[in-house]
Structure 1
Amino acid sequence: MRYLARQTANRGTNLMEVTITAVIAGILAAVAVPSLMGILQGSKVDQGLVQVQNSLKDAQKQAMRLGQSCEVTFNTTANPPTITASPAGCLVGTDTELPTGIVLESNAPGDKISFSFKGTTTSSGTMVVKSADGQGEQKCLVISIGIGIMRTGTYNSRSNNISSTNCVASS
């Protein structure tokens, strides 16, 4: 028996198929891009909080190591916000610049936290790190008066009055 191969013409795709594929790809992109942007912005907020916490811990350790007072200053009006310390040597490395698109707010007196040569502090403060567009999750750090214990969490208020009571532990 002889098998005959049936030949079919290569038809390609028509305009309707291309249009449907383009519409589906557009819908998927419209859903995925905002989610991806939110994830990236949330990552910047987390990174900013870690930088604030590390700067405070560094200054506290350096104050004890050097046997001198160290003062950390938060420049909340800079874009992006910066963290500096004085005198020189109170921060390991250089001053810290937070990621672009991040806002830093503080209720610390004068946006400063001072550590004595013992690592203690005479003031407390709450720092809030959030996206510049005001969307997404806000992170916070609270430093207590006295031995300078720090805790971090999620900030659950959108008001301009920063309070440590709005900094709740992240789950």
Structure 2
Amino acid sequence: MTHFVNFTVNGEHYALDVPPYYTLLRLLRDRLVLTGTKNGCSAGECGACTVLLDGAPVNSCLVLAPEIDGHDIVTVEGLAHDSQLDPLQETMIELGGTQCGFCTPGILIAARALLDRSPNPSEDDIRLSLVGNLCRCTGYTRIVAAVQEAAHRGRAA
């Protein structure tokens, strides 16, 4: 038995049949070939699979694909527009907020959700918003600096 779902990913509409056990993560990676969203733990512990579901960050490994009917999803691929990187992507590159890069898509999505709801976050706000995103390489200092700089550029624009 499958479920028919209508949904939007990065502004593009989809209508698909999905098995009841399929996760949003698997749907994104296997069916839509949006591989920026990473499978780190499959248990909602690492944040590598974070996407925006109707503007809120969620672990896509914990969302069943039939639950996305009628919803809007944004993945890391959806942050850039017209070949222009999101300011968060730019500052992460400029300030060295990435090392291996595996956690970066989830961190970018969590940070984008924060900046969308709070354009002037404190360092504590940034750190709190990234609590569910594990990074084993950077130590978070440069990640936090990149989010702060993106917020500053957003205010200056």
**TM-score, structure 1 length as denominator?**
0.23
Larger RCO, structures 1/2 (Cα 8 Å, 6+ apart):
2
Bigger fraction of residues in strand: 1
Structure number, greater radius of gyration:
1
Bigger fraction of residues in helix: 2
